[in-house]
């Protein structure tokens, strides 16, 4: 991340396939019609980085995607929206996290997501700490419980370094089968603003 960033968003980088007007799951061998099918970026870290960049902030993304079509899509959409992606790494062994989002007529969403994706493999490394520099205003984790490996590794060091350079440290939460509850992240809570 060559430029001085105001905000670094780390964590969830997903390709979402949105299916609007999904009233039921079709029975085997049949077809159901829906209102619309679109592809967009998803995941808290990507959504935050793109939104903040659109609002005029210098935002960067630190995440892991697969070396696949969906990973290329995430990188392209981030670049198109002015997000610094030098902290976006591609995995040759794990696919990009991809979700099919079924949206019914009342707007309620249900998700179909594959397991063992790049999201589950993502963990900060000591190399990633180089991106945290003076001038950083916000270090945003999106989200706690989002992957199997994110809470270990260099995350405590990254949060501490972000605080040391004067950045606010924030996180949001996502319900996950990997989460061990607040007890599993108690070592991180003291490092969050």
| Residues 150-167: tens digit of each pLDDT | 766 778 889 999 999 999
* Domain residue limits at 152: 7-189
Model-level pTM?
A: 0.88
Q: Does the residue 65 lie in any domain?
A: yes
10 phi and psi, to 5 degrees?
A: -125, 150
Q: Does the residue 1 lie in any domain?
A: no
Tell me the two tokens of residue 17.
Answer: 């396939």
Q: Does the residue 2 lie in any domain?
A: no
Q: Does the residue 27 lie in any domain?
A: yes
d(CA 161, CA 28): 53
d(CA 95, CA 90): 9
Q: Does the residue 115 lie in any domain?
A: yes
The CATH number that applies at residue 95 is: 3.40.1190.20
102 pLDDT more than 90: yes
Q: Provide the domain count of the chain.
A: 1
Mean pLDDT of the chain: 89
54 pLDDT more than 80: yes
Contact assessment for residue 42 and residue 74, using Cβ atoms and an 8 Å cutoff = no
Across residues 162-191, what is the average pLDDT? 80
pLDDT at residue 48 in the model:
96
Q: Does the residue 82 lie in any domain?
A: yes
What percent of the chain is modeled with pLDDT above 90?
61
Of 10-14, 30-34, 48-52, 185-189, minimum mean pLDDT range: 185-189
Q: Does the residue 29 lie in any domain?
A: yes
Across residues 42-68, what is the average pLDDT? 96
Q: Does the residue 43 lie in any domain?
A: yes
pLDDT at residue 1 in the model:
46
98 pLDDT more than 50: yes
108 pLDDT more than 80: yes
Tell me the two tokens of residue 100.
Answer: 């099919």
pLDDT at residue 60 in the model:
96
């Amino acid at each position: 991340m060559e430029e001085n960033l105001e905000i670094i968003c780390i964590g969830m980088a997903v390709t979402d396939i949105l299916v609007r007007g999904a009233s039921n799951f079709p029975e085997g061998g049949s077809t159901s019609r829906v209102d619309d099918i679109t592809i967009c970026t998803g995941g808290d870290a990507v959504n935050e980085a793109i939104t903040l960049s659109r609002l005029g902030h210098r935002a960067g993304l630190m995440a892991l995607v697969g070396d696949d079509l969906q990973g290329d899509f995430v990188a392209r959409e981030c670049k198109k929206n002015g997000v610094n992606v030098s902290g976006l790494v591609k995995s040759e062994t794990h696919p990009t996290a991809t979700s099919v989002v079924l949206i019914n007529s009342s707007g309620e969403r249900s998700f179909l997501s594959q397991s063992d994706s790049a999201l589950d493999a993502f963990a900060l490394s000591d190399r990633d700490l180089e991106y945290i520099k003076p001038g950083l205003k916000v270090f945003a984790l999106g989200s706690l419980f989002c992957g199997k490996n994110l809470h270990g590794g260099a995350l405590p060091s990254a949060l501490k370094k972000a605080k040391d350079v004067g950045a606010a440290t924030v996180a949001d939460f996502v319900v996950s089968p990997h989460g061990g509850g607040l007890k599993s992240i108690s070592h991180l809570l003291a490092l969050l603003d």
